[in-house]
Amino acid sequence: MKLVRATETRLIFRLGQHETRLLPQILKLYPCVPPAHHVLSRSGREPDREANQQLLDEALAEQRAENKQQVLALLADRRRFARTQSGSRLSLPPAEAEWLLQVLNDIRVGSWINLGSPEENAPELNDDTAPDFMAMEIAGYFQAQLLEALHGAG
């Protein structure tokens, strides 16, 4: 994924054939962070903790559903995600690139959580851990490309 043009209103990326196949596959994993991971407070001393946690859970579920629809719309929009002979072209306003970073971060962090939140050593790769490890790494790759483009464009 390479930034080919950046203006104040648009970032245009060229994706190779592998990236063109990987990006939709990775984005379709969203949401990846388990809903139970988001808690209002770990201390448990807040008034109306259960009611407030339920409000948070409902708001997060609504946001996730909206993000999922936006992901599907992005992938279906031939003006923003257009196939080319060598792969594809992705055209995003900077605000959408920021949103895409958040979606990719959910996938990356969710995969990390699924791997047991390893701190220092990578988990042992096997049939069970390989999908999450690959999702974490691929989401991180796309995040790095978007961050570099946003940093250079900003």
pLDDT tens, 72-111?
999 999 999 999 999 999 999 999 999 999 999 999 999 9
In this model, does residue 55 exceed pLDDT 70? yes
Read off the pLDDT of residues 113-140 as tens digits, 9 standing for 90 and up.
999 988 878 778 999 999 999 999 999 9
- Rounded to whole angstroms, the Cα distance separating 19 from 146 reads 13
Compute the distance between CA of residue 18 and CA of residue 14 in angstroms, rounded to an integer: 12
pLDDT value, residue 154: 47
Per DSSP, helices labelled H in 13-48 are 17-27
Name the residue ranges covered by the structural domains of the chain: 2-153
As to burial, measured by CB atoms within 10 angstroms (0-12 exposed, 13-18 middle, 19+ buried), residue 62 is exposed
- Asked if residue 129 lies in contact with residue 54, where contact means CB atoms within 8 angstroms, the answer is no
Q: What mean pLDDT is predicted for residues 37-63?
A: 79
Tell which wins on pLDDT, 10 or 57.
10
- The total of other beta-carbon atoms located within 10 Å of residue 30's CB is 20
Which tokens in the block code for residue 28? 């379709």
Average pLDDT on 34-56 reads 75
Global confidence as pTM: 0.88
Q: What is the pLDDT of residue 15?
A: 98
For 4-18, the pLDDT digits (tens) are 999 999 999 999 999
Q: What is the pLDDT of residue 84?
A: 95
pLDDT band per the 50, 70, 90 thresholds, residue 43 = low
Average pLDDT over residues 28-38: 86
Choose among 99, 121, 116: nearest CA to 34.
116
Q: Contact at 8 Å (CB) between 84 and 129? A: no
By residue count, the chain amounts to: 154
Q: Is 42 a residue whose pLDDT tops 70?
A: no
Q: CA–CA distance from 82 to each of 74, 85, 86, 104 (Å)?
A: 10, 10, 11, 20
Give 91 or 46, the one with higher predicted confidence.
91
